[in-house]
Amino acid sequence: MRPPEIAVAVAAAAAAVLALAAALSEKAEAAPSPAALRLERALPPKGMPVEHLRERDRARHGGRGLLGGSPAVAGVVDFPVEGSANPFMVGLYFTRVKLGNPPKEYFVQIDTGSDILWVACSPCAGCPASSGLNIQLEFFNPDTSSTSSRIPCSDDRCTAALQTGEALCQTSDSPSSPCGYTFMYGDGSGTSGYYVSDTMYFDTVMGNEQTTNSSASIVFGCSNSQSGDLTKTDRAIDGIFGFGQHQLSVVSQLNSLGVSPKVFSHCLKGSDNGGGILVLGEIVEPGLVYTPLVPSQPHYNLNMEGIAVNGQKLPIDSSLFTTSKTQGTIVDSGTTLAYLADGAYDLFVNAIIAAVSPSVRTLVSKGNQCFATSSSVDLSFPTVTLYFMGGVAMTVKPENYLLQQASIDNNVLWCIGWQRNQGQEITILGDLVLKDKIFVYDLANMRMGWTDYDCSTSVNVTATSGKNQYVNAGQFDVNASPRRGAASYGGLIPTAVAVVAVELIFGAFSRR
């Protein structure tokens, strides 16, 4: 029981609080409501030797900013993807995007090593009219789309792209001149054109697992000229779907428009049939480890610190892997093989030779270090470990550094698929290394994660909103129709994650 004087004081204080609350309530009712702001808005044919693979991989390795903000994500977006897993066949994976009004469907290569979505336009000089991939090619025509508009040089988006080299405007051009671009690739191919804004359509799965037709206005390239390998019909497609980290990429644009979070993940299935998962969202599985992405880089660069073979660290100076204009380690799903810095290559190959089983016969075939064995590669060859900043490691199994070339009697001929990056100190981890692993590109937190995984099974996916919501990829097809080898989706569908079902394969030959 309180003393009388304390009880009186408490009562007085309570009365004062009630009076203050009443005054604040009257003031809030009297104040006008704030004004509402209205917002408007490829790989070679079968049998082609490894040296040709290397030629095609010499490509994409060569500040951007337009859209900002991260609104709440609308739902799950599904992009069905097709392709072939065999690196000696097609060697690229592609998806279909619907653009324009009325919408047309275009086949575009998914490429994490570039940023721009571009499609062939009408007219187009050098663009193939047919494809050996058994797909019907289309040409985008901005004049026949009621929602299309050309991006002029005066547009802020063009101005930002000019600063990053993704746009071209001459000083003599008028402000109304079209915002152009020219992309040249290391294999000698190239494309040029101009930017347009138009509608992209997708199927969105909401939190109640109901599928709705959704759309967003995005900026993409309209290619009116192609050269080099892009003109060939054997693996011709309608364009390239840039999946890079900069703000003209589809990833950044859809994030800015509230369609997807600023994180995506993939799991490349390593079998000949390909398959796998690509999600606009964060795969959440046990065993994932993360290392920082190197900031302000045009590609997905990591700080690699060392390499070990069978647990024995190679005597490589760690400064060889320091990121600079001429050094560094790049993760690129658009590169088929893997390329090791020139200064580290001989040490790596010699360590593999020294560690193979005594029953394995070593030989050199067409300049490549090869091995003949009748035993399992997991039993005959060592495990390689890559070490990255933060004390995290990446396990590289024999299937992740070897390529099966042929059969000799009862033996299988395996060759080292990692190539020497001749005269360069840049290491590129392509699909040979990335397959059979989950990779998470967390752009919001500038980090990358991975873990070994059976990519034919389902995964849990969440968004970066911090909500404990997941989609279990592998149980429920968002299109409610079968797709050849494509992953399906089920479980609790979050309202803050976009998922792309992928019939992924060994990335494409590297272009940039």
User: Looking at the predicted structure, is the pLDDT value of residue 85 above 90?
Assistant: no
What pairs with residue 183 in β-bridges?
Answer: 191
* Residue 387 lies inside a defined structural domain of this protein: yes
Which of 12-16, 345-349, 363-367 has maximum average pLDDT? Answer: 345-349
Q: What are phi and psi of 460, to 5 degrees?
A: -95, 135
Average confidence (pLDDT) over 364-381? 92
Residues 6+ apart with CB under 8 A from 142: 100, 121, 148, 149, 150, 196, 198, 222
| Residue corresponding to tokens 């590609």 | 299
3-state secondary structure string across 146-205: CCCEECECCCHHHHHHHHCCCCECCCCCCCCCECEEEEECCCCCEEEEEEEEEEEEEEEE
Closest CA to 448 of 496, 388, 383, 386: 388
According to the model, what pLDDT value does residue 211 have? Answer: 61
Give residue 266's pLDDT band: very low, low, confident or very high (50, 70, 90).
confident
The answer, yes or no, to whether residue 119 has pLDDT greater than 90, is yes
204 and 68 both lie in a single domain: yes
- Is residue 486 located within the same domain as residue 419? no
Catalytic residues, by residue number, are: 111, 332
* Residues 469, 148: Cα–Cα separation, whole Å: 36
430: confidence class by pLDDT, cuts 50, 70, 90: confident
Domain check: are 365 and 477 in the same one?
A: no
Q: Between the ranges 22-36, 125-139, 491-505, where is the mean pLDDT highest?
A: 125-139
Residues 463-477, mean pLDDT to the nearest whole number: 40
In a domain, 167, yes or no: yes
Concatenated DSSP letters of 325-378: SSEEEEE-TT-SSEEEEHHHHHHHHHHHHHHS-TTPEEEEETTEEEEEESS-HH
Claim to verify: residue 211 and residue 269 sit in the same structural domain: yes
DSSP 399: G
Whether 301 has a pLDDT exceeding 90, the answer reads yes
Q: Is residue 443 part of a domain?
A: no
How far apart CA 278 and CA 122 sit, in angstroms, is 31
Residues 177, 300: one domain?
no
Q: Is residue 257 very low, low, confident or very high in pLDDT (cuts 50, 70, 90)?
A: confident
In a domain, 194, yes or no: yes
Q: Which of 37-41, 58-62, 293-297, 326-330 has the lowest mean pLDDT?
A: 37-41
Show the domain range for 391.
289-434
pLDDT at 205 (0 to 100): 54
Locate 235 and state its tokens: 């693996």
**Could you tell me if 76 and 154 lie in one domain?**
yes
CA 87 – CA 108 distance, rounded (Å): 18
Residues 243 and 344 in one domain: no
Is the separation of the CB atoms in 284 and 460 below 8 Å? Answer: yes
Please state the rounded mean pLDDT for residues 286-308. Answer: 95
CA distance 147 to 199: 7
- Domain annotation covers residue 442: no
Number of domains in the chain: 2
Core vs surface per residue 230-241: b (16+ CB within 10 A) or e: beeeebbbbbbb
- Residue-wise pLDDT for 209-227, tens only, equals 556 787 899 999 999 999 9
Name the pLDDT band for 302 (thresholds 50, 70, 90): very high
Residues 261 and 388 in one domain: no
What is the enclosing helix (H) or strand (E) of 380? helix 377-380
* pLDDT band at 143; cut points 50, 70, 90: very high
Residue 275 pLDDT exceeds 50: yes
Residues 104 and 197 in one domain: yes
> What does the alpha-carbon distance between residue 371 and residue 167 come to, in Å, rounded to a whole number?
47
User: What confidence tier does 507 reach under pLDDT thresholds 50, 70, 90?
Assistant: very low
**Mean pLDDT, rounded, for 37-44:** 30
Of the candidates 382, 402, 434, which is a domain's last residue? 434
The answer to whether position 348 is within a domain reads: yes
Closest CA to 511 of 249, 226, 251: 226
pLDDT tier, 80 (very low <50, low <70, confident <90, very high otherwise): low
Q: Per the structure block, which two tokens stand in for 156?
A: 């802020």
Q: Give yes or no for a contact between 119 and 99, defined as CB atoms under 8 angstroms apart.
A: yes
Check whether residue 191 and residue 208 sit in a common domain.
Answer: yes
Distances (CA, A) of 250 to 1, 191, 242, 247, 389: 68, 18, 7, 8, 29
Label residues 28-41 b or e (16+ Cβ within 10 Å = b): eeeeeeeeeeeeee
Which residue do the tokens 């059976």 mark?
454
Of 90 and 138, which is predicted with more confidence?
A: 138
In a domain, 250, yes or no: yes
Q: How confident is the model at residue 399 (pLDDT cuts 50, 70, 90)?
A: very high
| pLDDT number for residue 187 | 67
Whether 260 and 113 share a structural domain: yes
Report the pLDDT value the prediction gives residue 452, as an integer from 0 to 100.
97
* Confidence (pLDDT) at 5: 43
Report residue 382's pLDDT band, with 50, 70 and 90 as the boundaries: very high
Rounded to whole angstroms, the Cα distance separating 329 from 114 reads 16
Whether residue 213 lies inside any domain: the answer is yes
Q: Say yes or no to pLDDT of 42 above 50.
A: no
Average pLDDT over residues 395-414: 90
Q: Which CATH number belongs to the domain containing residue 318 in this structure? A: 2.40.70.10
**Same domain, yes or no, for 218 and 191?**
yes
**What confidence category does residue 37 fall into, taking pLDDT thresholds of 50, 70 and 90?**
very low
Whether residue 108 contacts residue 249, with contact meaning beta carbons closer than 8 Å, is answered with no
pLDDT of 422 strictly over 80: yes
Q: Is the pLDDT of residue 47 over 60?
A: no
**What is residue 57's DSSP assignment?**
H
- Average pLDDT score over the chain: 76
Using alpha carbons, select from 333, 245, 256 the residue that is nearest to residue 293.
Answer: 245
Residue 94 CA to residue 320 CA, distance in Å, equals 35
